[in-house]
Structure 1
Amino acid sequence: MSAQGPTRWQEAVIERIAPLTPRIVSVMLKADLARHVAGQHLDVRLTAPDGYAAQRSYSIASAPGQPVELIIEKLDDGEVSPYFHDIAQAGDAIEVRGPLGGHFIWRAEDGGPVLLVAGGSGIAPLMAMVRDWARAAAGLPMMLVCSARTWDELPFGEALERLEASRADFRFVAAITRGPGHRPADRTQRLDAPALRELITQWGHVPRHVFVCGSNRFVEGVTRGLADAALAAGMIRTERYGGAE
């Protein structure tokens, strides 16, 4: 654990900002933080010269033990996200605290099979789980289902394709809701109960752990669909983000 602890604000330096989609950037940070668990988040605080402060929570997308990566979607009426898209540069300092959160987490020793369902930038904590799994859980089945309006709006799509091609125990499914699929395996429909039931059947595994992350509406819809697909509520953990900062 860092000297200041996870609940104390401390300085982090932006090392790199890179676009992932037209509205999502990857932000790499250098900070003296405790080792996070896949699924945890950081609080980020920005303070203006007049003393006004705004803060937002962002899930960590990097694997435990790796440099911290946040993925930040631009909300035009937000107080924090436009800074990372329009103003921030490498070398700038911000305030962070964390890692935080103990419910929406997964470790290799938790076992599987593991089903992950992401909507938009909700892929961030699930990407941390995928990356941790890829390093430490050989042979443990994992499926990641990502919903996005178009392929170009899906973060990490090409990296996930490469991972699926290299690992027989990993399946990646893109659910594209407003355009053609990028690959033959992509779904061009919303993730309702029949679609989720079909995906799980095709996967051939009964999940032991299910993690769902996205907007409130997305999480509610997927959770209902999973229940209708006969998955027990006790195995499903959810993380939601609102529509404004």
Structure 2
Amino acid sequence: MTKELVTPTTVRLRMHVDDRLRHWPGQHYLLRLRAPDDYTAQRSYSLASDDSDPLLEFFVERLPDGEVSEFLADVAEVGDVLEMRGPIGRWFTWDVRTPALCLVGGTGIVPAIAMSRAARHAGRPDLLRILAVGRSPEELPYGDELHRFGATVAYTRHAVDDRPAGPPTAAELAPLLDGIQRAYVCGSSRFAGLAEALLMECGMPADSIRVEQFGATG
């Protein structure tokens, strides 16, 4: 395992997995911590890497009182061996053939990164469009990579050029849906609800929208 502290509250992990199974962009892994008394804590994390990458890449946000995220951000060291299970998930996967749009926010941007890398590796970046939402440039995961891919970015707390701070609008989203057959939404529960409603307002059929949301765990 290699580890890079991206911001004071986020960390990028890259891991080698022996005899790993192939994965589709959009899938995730379960990372489990096990104490000497056999107490366990686990959390699911989306893959940022595409299947051509020899390592699995995860982007973890350190959450208050989050047993797994705090360990990964503050305690885990390079060379540590972690208990993992995956890849998991069939619903929220992209086949790298269907024209798709990702409407993603916060750390929900991670699966869109995997999809963009898969699109580039296949030589078909034209099949994928991304509308990424973050609070500010400093807090946007994979900001430089998103811009290189040509993603549209909306900041909710930071004005850029002639765009005021705020969530994406129907006027910004509608042109990105031309020719799109499937939409992927990933982010917090609140973001996912707003994003799904915005897509349907712009004419995207509900059965063409796939949603993955996250929130506090019990």
Determine if the TM-score, normalized by the shorter chain, exceeds 0.5: yes
Matched, 1:79 2:67: yes
Q: Following the alignment from structure 2 to structure 1, what is the Cα–Cα distance between the partners of residues 32 and 105?
A: 25
Which amino acid in the other structure matches residue 156 of structure 2? T
Give the percent of matched residue pairs that are identical in Structure 1 and Structure 2: 34
Amino acid aligned to 2:167 = R
Pair 1:188 & 2:158 matched: no
Amino acid in structure 2 at the alignment position of 1:71 = F
TM-score (norm 2): 0.92
1:118 paired residue number: 104
Deviation beyond 3 Å, 4+ runs, structure 1: 184-187, 200-204
- 1:123 and 1:139 map into 2 onto residues whose CA distance is 17
Find the aligned partners of 1:107 and 1:136 in 2 and give their Cα distance: 11
1:65 and 2:44 are equivalent in the alignment: no
Counterpart of 1:140? 126
CA distance in 1, matches of 2:207, 2:61: 30
Paired residues of 1:22 and 1:153 also in contact (CA < 8 A):
no
SS of residue in 2 equivalent to 1:93: coil
Unaligned runs of 5+ residues in structure 2 are none
Match of 2:194 among 194, 208, 221: 221
Query: Which SS does the other structure have where 1:108 is aligned?
Result: coil
Bigger mean CA offset, 221-230 vs 208-217: 221-230
Does 1:232 find its partner at 2:205? Answer: yes
Rounded to whole Å, the distance in 2 between the matches of 1:70 and 1:153 is 16
CA contact (8 A) 1:41 1:101 kept: yes
Structure-2 residue corresponding to 1:53: 40
Structure 1: gaps spanning 5 or more residues = 1-13, 165-171
Correspondent of 1:101 among 89, 97, 100: 89
Conserved 8 A contact 1:173-1:185 = no
Work out whether residues 44 and 96 of structure 1, in 8 Å CA contact, stay in contact via their aligned partners in 2: yes
Number of residue equivalences: 216
